[in-house]
Amino acid sequence: MPAVSKGDGMRGLAVFISDIRNCKSKEAEVKRINKELANIRSKFKGDKALDGYSKKKYVCKLLFIFLLGHDIDFGHMEAVNLLSSNKYTEKQIGYLFISVLVNSNSDLIRLINNAIKNDLASRNPTFMNLALHCIANVGSREMAEAFASEIPRILVAGDTMDSVKQSAALCLLRLNRTSPDLVPMGEWTARVVHLLNDQHLGVVTAATSLITTLAQKSPDDFKTSVSLAVARLSRIVTSASIDLQDYTYYFVAAPWLSVKLLRLLQCYPPPEDTSLRSRLTECLETILNKAQEPPKSKKVQHSNAKNAVLFEAITLIIHHDSEPNLLVRACNQLGQFLQHRETNLRYLALESMCTLASSEFSHEAVKTHIETVINALKTERDVSVRQRAVDLLYAMCDRSNSKQIVAEMLSYLETADYSIREEIVLKVAILAEKYAVDYTWYVDTILNLIRIAGDYVSEEVWYRVIQIVINRDDVQGYAAKTVFEALQAPACHENLVKVGGYILGEFGNLIAGDPRSSPLVQFNLLHSKFHLCSVPTRALLLSAYIKFINLFPEVKGTIQDVLRSDSQLRNADVELQQRAVEYLRLSCIASTDILATVLEEMPPFPERESSILAKLKKKKGSSKLPDMDDSRKNVNGSSEHAEDAEVASKPPQFLLEELISTDRPHPSSSATMLPTRTMVPSHTFTDNLSVNSAPSSGASLLVDVFSDFSSAAPTEGSDEHFPRFVCKNNGVIYENQLLQIGLKSEYRQNLGRMYVFYGNKTSTKFLSFSTSVSTLQLNVQEKPVDPLIEAGAQVQQILNIECVSDFSDVPVLNIQFRYGGTLQNITVKLPVMLNKFFQPTEMTSQDFFQRWKQLGAPQQEVQKIFKAKNQMDTDVTKAKLLGFGVALLDGVDPNPTNFVGAGIIHTKTTQVGCLLRLEPNTQAQMYRLTLRTSKESVSQRLCELLPPTNAVPPATAAPLAELFTATLIWSWDAISLHRHMTSSKRGAIPALKHSGGRTVVGA
């Protein structure tokens, strides 16, 4: 190792690093590090003052030890002292240590801020750069508050050096991303825009990054940057390589700045000024022309830089979507990349062409490359490129090529990667439905789809084909004939059996005249698949059999024998047993007229959004889903499918499914506690078909999505609805004219998960959308939320919550976003109360009263007697007690009118049990409520959760507090209660219900 002098290096640090590298084992490394830490600690605590070089050396060693993965709990003050040094190397090490090791909540932040202020005021460019780099690296809110107003002044000052301007622009960009509300937007805005004219291209590059971010939030404030960006881009594009010698990268002039300028222009529509627009068009044409020129270098860096500018220019052309000539040229250029040897270029070309396919000007040009794309689908080695090829075929599909594209996708589906098969199935189903002129082709396509990839055909696909067949009389006979023939194959996928059972049950009579498909043949064919199917499919087939009795009286005896068999009447599955019993009884006692009425043909389904499209949106994300030809206009300006365009604007149906209301469940052994009203019966064919269909109108989905709740949405700034969440976990917690916030929560022991849904009710997108949760007594982990919410869209955020100990203050959700250039701040209390961490507990009568007597001390009991505020309803009282979190114990109290409950509040540190007894007096309209536990703070908090003042009118199904005023007596800590979990199965006898002009069994 070469000798290192004290003047140009730190020999001690070099020796220490060498010793670490020479360690033969982990134990030897730890021993050497501990020895060095002890030496450094003694030096820092010694009486002899250390000079700057020694401090720098020891701080460097601490930094190196930290980077090796060891904790450092000292040396921070010495690093702060280095900031006051006048030597660059010492100050640099001090800032480096602070940037890496100092926490934003450290007590030293004030000292660090003072040192940074001194360096910023020193006008020494080297020291100013170090200070700005430190601010950007730490990026804490405290630093933003201290320097957000100072940095813009440095940036626009006339005497600031270019290197400092670069650092100031990037530092301001970092603070804007971490604390956008603290970055001032005022008099310096115009001066920042004029930095695009700066002679130093490094300053222009940094300023462009800053302006692009700011323009996305406040486009009106920075719209003057468009003309400057076009002028600067024109000078770069038309310049020779020698003109920008310092910024030419492998014969490409200022590629990074060009990309940033093109990205800035994507924040705005095409310029209205004719001269400016023509100049921008000239720039884009020049970039496209240079892409056709022979490469000036064979090195990959040259092609990468050149293609980076080209792809960004094409993105801008697509964004403007106003120059047909440029769009076609861009498409042709991308077409050349489809056969390039570089995989990344082929991927990017396919991705860009997916967007081009949605433009009226370039759609036909994209279609000319269909053979190349199909070849890529068959020959590409990279699965991600093949997936983009599928996306492009889906996007370029229209009536002229739909049969070819669907056939190719079906052909590829047989050998496609398992990871993309489901997506291909959904796209084939959508295209077949969308462009089906002859619906016999649609039926053939879907049945072929089930045959090829049955495991990947979701329920939405076969639901949809049945809806279409029922709604179209002209295809019903063909569908019955086709599924009958398909079911004759030795091995049929279960989804095909489902489709065949439904269609033959409804329309088997249309093919019964042929001896080859007589009623008995149809029945035997279906029943031959019965024992190979799952329970839901068997249930569907049983419904098909009872339909056969109505359609074909001659097979009534055969079907009754099947229903009467022990395998049906004594089936272990309650659903199948129930259907067999009911259908057999119905066929025996009902007259022919009654059977014809009950089992008549299903009426047409109402037209609504395809659930397949909703599923594809959910899988891909609506922002990534190609528009196909919905946005492509004909010459006369009308859409090719007006209804498709309308569907595209509606929120997908899956949001509704995610937000279905769930009250607090009964104790259950299931890990996932589902609400009873989401358990959809499957007695008839139409049940499963209807629940997966999207709502017919999505214009008010943000409001209607919580229509299952009896309470209205809270108004802006109102906390009066907050107590409603004491006994329920879902609903709209906040709403104003801009934003609606809905919650869906689930809890288990001391852990909880909250799904927060943010709905944009306006016609303008929300920019810089960010959230934070303030809480002192809970651990809350926030999943990031999308910073951009499109108009009318809805995004979801997940909060993971941990209850550490009993608490009183609820967490607060802070929301910030920009709407129309104005910063919006909203604060919402999150309904995370102590009772949410209840675990319902089952107990015997003996155990309950034994515990009850053990906890008879005065400090363990809180009791109140109060008058009922509403009519005393036993069912409502039970529901609210269950919603509060306890398990109701039947047969425990000698008085059957009393309510007795038990539960455990789980925290990370302890478990607090609760015994509850509610004694109603119907004559006096009075209640007495008693709860017992040993934790006084818990009892106080639960008293606060149940005040009588929170009553609401009876019509709104008030929470527990509205039924009675809490009196609490609290019980034991960390007792070992045996948790008896119960599971329930639906076994209700289906009623005869009138639906759609006739009666349906079990609807």
Select from 591, 525, 584, 536 the least CA-distant residue to 560.
Answer: 584
Select from 179, 172, 129, 181 the least CA-distant residue to 150.
Answer: 172
Select from 459, 440, 450, 466 the least CA-distant residue to 413.
Answer: 450
Distance CA(905)–CA(914), nearest Å, equals 8
Virtual CA dihedral for 541, 543, 549, 552, nearest 10 degrees? -60
Instruction: Please name the amino acid found at residue 942.
Output: L
Give the number of other Cβ atoms within 10 Å of residue 537's Cβ.
17
Binding-site residues sit at 11-12, 43, 53, 57-61
Instruction: Please name the amino acid found at residue 124.
Output: N
Q: How far is CA 400 from CA 344, 389, 403, 443, 634, in A?
A: 30, 19, 8, 19, 14
Distance CA(996)–CA(686), nearest Å, equals 11
How would DSSP label each residue in 226-286? HHHHHHHHHHHHTS-TTTTGGGEETTEESHHHHHHHHHHHTTSPPPSSHHHHHHHHHHHHH
Structure token pair of residue 782: 């926030």
Q: Are 602 and 468 in contact (CB under 8 A)?
A: no
Give the number of other Cβ atoms within 10 Å of residue 441's Cβ.
16
CA 262 from centre of chain: 30
Residue 917, beta-bridge partner list: 900, 930
Distance CA(909)–CA(911), nearest Å, equals 7
Angle between helix axes 201-217 and 225-237 (nearest 10 degrees) is 140
Structure token pair of residue 826: 């909203």
| CB burial string 23-42: b at 16+ within 10 A, e below | eeeeeebeeebeebbeebee
Distance CA(965)–CA(513), nearest Å, equals 72
Q: Phi and psi dihedrals of 775, rounded to 5?
A: -160, 145
Give the number of other Cβ atoms within 10 Å of residue 712's Cβ.
13
From start to end of 804-885, where are the E strands?
A: 812-819, 822-829, 838-840, 861-867
